[in-house]
Structure 1
Amino acid sequence: MTNYYFIGIKGTGMASLALILHDQGNKVLGSDIDKETFTQFPLVKAGIQITDFDPDLIKSNYVVVKGNAFSDDHPQVLAAKKVGAKLLTYPQAVEEVIRRHFSIAVSGAHGKTSTTSLLAHILSNFESTSYLIGDGVGKGVFSSKYFVVEADEYDRHFQPFTPDVAIITNIDWDHPDYYKSLDDVKSAFSEFADHVKKIIFAYGEDPEIKKIKPKTARILSYGFEKSDYFCANNIDKRTEGSYFSLSKGGRKLGDFFATIEGDHGILDTTAAIAVADYLGFSVDQIQKGLLTYQGAKRRFNISQVADLTIVDDYAHHPTEIKATIDAARQKFPNKRLVAVFQPHTYTRVNAFKDEYVNALKSADKVYITPIFGSLREKAGNAKSEDILDKLPNAGAIISESNAYDKLSAEHRSVLVFMGAGDIEKYEDALKKGFE
Structure 2
Amino acid sequence: MTTFHFIGIKGSGMSALAQVLHDMNYQVQGSDVEKRFFTQKPLEEKGIPIFPFQKENIKEGQQVVVSAAYSDEHEEVVAAKEQGLEIQSYPTFLGEFIQRFTSIAVTGSHGKTSTTGLLSHVLGSHCPTSFLIGDGTGKGAADSHYFVFEACEYRRHFLNYRPDYCIMTNIDFDHPDYFDDINDVFSAFQEMAMQVKKAIVACGDDEQLQGIHANVPVVYYGFNEDNDFQARNIEVTSEGTHFQVFVRNNHYGDFTIPRFGKHNVLNSLAVIALCHYENIPVEVLARELKTFEGVKRRFTEKTLGGQILIDDYAHHPTEISATIEAAKQKYPDRPVVAIFQPHTFSRTKAFLHEFAKALKQADHVYLCDIFGSARENKGSLSIEDLQALIPGAHLLSENNLAPLQDHRSGVLLFMGAGDIQKFQQAYEHVLTT
TM-score, normalised via structure 1 length: 0.97
Contact 2:258/2:291, CA 8 A, preserved across alignment: no
Q: Which residue number corresponds to residue 398 of structure 1? A: 396
Say whether 1:332 aligns with 2:347. no
Distance in 2 of aligned mates of 1:170 and 1:8: 29
Deviations, residues 174-205 of structure 1 (Å, cap 9, x unaligned): 00011111111111111111110010000002
Residue 410 of structure 2 is matched in structure 1 by: 413
Alignment of 1:30-41 (within 5 A): 30-41=30-41
SS in 1 for 2:272: helix
The answer to whether the aligner puts 1:348 opposite 2:344 as a matched pair is: no
Question: 1:429 deviation in Å?
Answer: 0.8
Partner secondary structure for residue 188 of structure 2: helix
Match of 1:116 in 2: 116
Can you list the C-alpha shifts for 1:3-39, whole angstroms capped at 9, x where unaligned? 2100000001100000001111111101001111111
Give the aligned partner of residue 208 of structure 1.
208
Superposition map of 1:216-231 within 5 A: 216-231=215-230
Partner residue in 2 for 1:424: 421
CA distance 1:47–1:309, shift in 2 (3 Å): same
Question: Which residue number in structure 2 is paired with residue 197 of structure 1?
Answer: 197
Residue in structure 2 matching 1:433, options 423, 430, 433: 430
Q: 3-state DSSP class of the match of 1:256?
A: strand
Cα distance in 2 for residues equivalent to 1:254 and 1:164 = 26
Query: Map of 1:54-65 to 2, 5 A cutoff?
Result: 54-65=54-65
Q: Contact 1:165–1:200 at 8 Å: present in 2 too?
A: yes
1:171–1:209 contact (8 Å) kept in structure 2: yes
Deviates more, 1:59-68 or 1:21-30: 59-68
Q: Alignment partner of 2:110: what SS?
A: coil
Residues 241 and 259 of structure 2 are in contact (CA less than 8 Å); yes or no, is this contact kept in structure 1? yes
User: Could you tell me how far apart the structure 2 residues matched to 1:157 and 1:378 are?
Assistant: 23
Query: Offset at 1:56?
Result: 2.3
* Cα deviation, residue 275, structure 1: 1.0
* 1:376, distance to aligned residue in structure 2 (A): 3.2
Deviations 1:226-272 (A, max 9, x none): 11000000111223211000011221110001122101010001101
Residues in 1 aligned to 2:318 and 2:223: alpha-carbon distance in whole angstroms = 18
Q: Distance in 1 between matches of 2:374 and 2:141?
A: 33
State the match for 2:306 in structure 1.
307
Partner Cα separation in structure 1 for residue 112 and residue 347 of structure 2: 19
Q: Distance in 2 between matches of 1:115 and 1:132?
A: 12
Bigger mean CA deviation after superposition, 52-61 or 14-23: 52-61
CA offset at residue 95 of structure 1?
1.0
CA distance in 1, matches of 2:342, 2:83: 42
Equivalent residue, structure 2, for 1:276: 275
- How far is 1:97 from its partner? 2.1
| Residues 261, 331 of structure 1: 8 Å contact kept | yes
Query: What does residue 160 of structure 1 align with?
Result: 160
Q: Is the 8 A contact 2:346 2:378 kept in 1?
A: no
Query: What's the counterpart of residue 358 of structure 1?
Result: 357
Supply the AA of the counterpart residue of 2:233.
N
Alpha-carbon displacement from aligned partner over 1:56-106 (angstroms, at most 9, x marks no partner): 221242111111110111111111111111111110111122111101000
Secondary structure, counterpart of 2:105 in structure 1: strand
Instruction: Name the amino acid aligned to 2:259.
Output: I
Matched, 1:244 2:258: no
Distance, in Å, in 1 between the alignment partners of 2:109 and 2:374 is 21
Query: 1:375 Cα shift?
Result: 4.5
**Cα 1:209/1:259, change in 2 over 3 Å:** same
Specify the alignment match of 2:125 in structure 1: 125
- Contact 2:338/2:414 (CA < 8 Å) preserved in 1? yes
Cα offset for 1:41? 0.8
Aligned to 1:221, the other structure's residue is in SS state: strand
Give the Å deviation of 1:393: 3.8
Question: Aligned residue pairs: how many?
Answer: 432
**How far did residue 378 of structure 1 move?**
7.0
Whole-Å separation in 2 of the counterparts to 1:125 and 1:374: 40
C-alpha distance in structure 1 between counterparts of 2:9 and 2:378, whole Å? 25
State how far apart, in whole Å, the 2-side matches of 1:272 and 1:328 are.
Answer: 23
Matches within 5 A, 1:82-101: 82-101=82-101
Any stretches of 5+ residues in structure 2 without a counterpart?
Answer: none
User: Does the 8 Å CA contact 1:200/1:217 hold for their aligned counterparts?
Assistant: yes
- Quote the Cα distance in structure 2 between the aligned partners of 1:376 and 1:14: 21
Q: What SS does structure 2 have at the residue aligned with 1:78?
A: helix
DSSP-derived class of the 1:430 partner: helix
Partner secondary structure for residue 87 of structure 1: strand
Mapped to 2, the partners of 1:47 and 1:358 lie a distance apart of 45
Aligned residues: percent identity?
47
1:186 corresponds to which residue? 186
Gaps of 5+ in 1: none
Secondary structure in 1 matching 2:158: coil
Confirm or deny: 8 A CA contact 1:105 1:163 kept in the other structure: yes
Separation in 1, partners of 2:271, 2:415: 25
AA paired with 1:408? Q
Task: Indicate conservation of the 8 Å contact 1:346/1:381, yes or no.
Answer: no
Check whether the contact 1:69–1:375 (CA below 8 A) recurs between aligned residues: no
Distance in 2 between the 1:77 and 1:270 partners?
Answer: 43
8 Å contact kept, 1:361–1:393: no
Q: TM-score, normalised by structure 2?
A: 0.98
Listed one character per residue, the Cα deviations across residues 301-324 of structure 1 (whole Å, up to 9, x for unaligned) are: 111111211111110100000010
Q: Is it true that 1:81 corresponds to 2:81 in the alignment?
A: yes
Say which SS state the counterpart of residue 34 (structure 1) adopts. Answer: coil
Say whether the 8 Å CA contact 2:229–2:245 is kept in structure 1: yes
Secondary structure at 1:236's aligned position in 2?
Answer: strand
3-state SS, counterpart of residue 148 of structure 2: strand
Contact 1:364 1:393 in 2 (8 A): no
SS of the residue aligned with 2:311?
strand
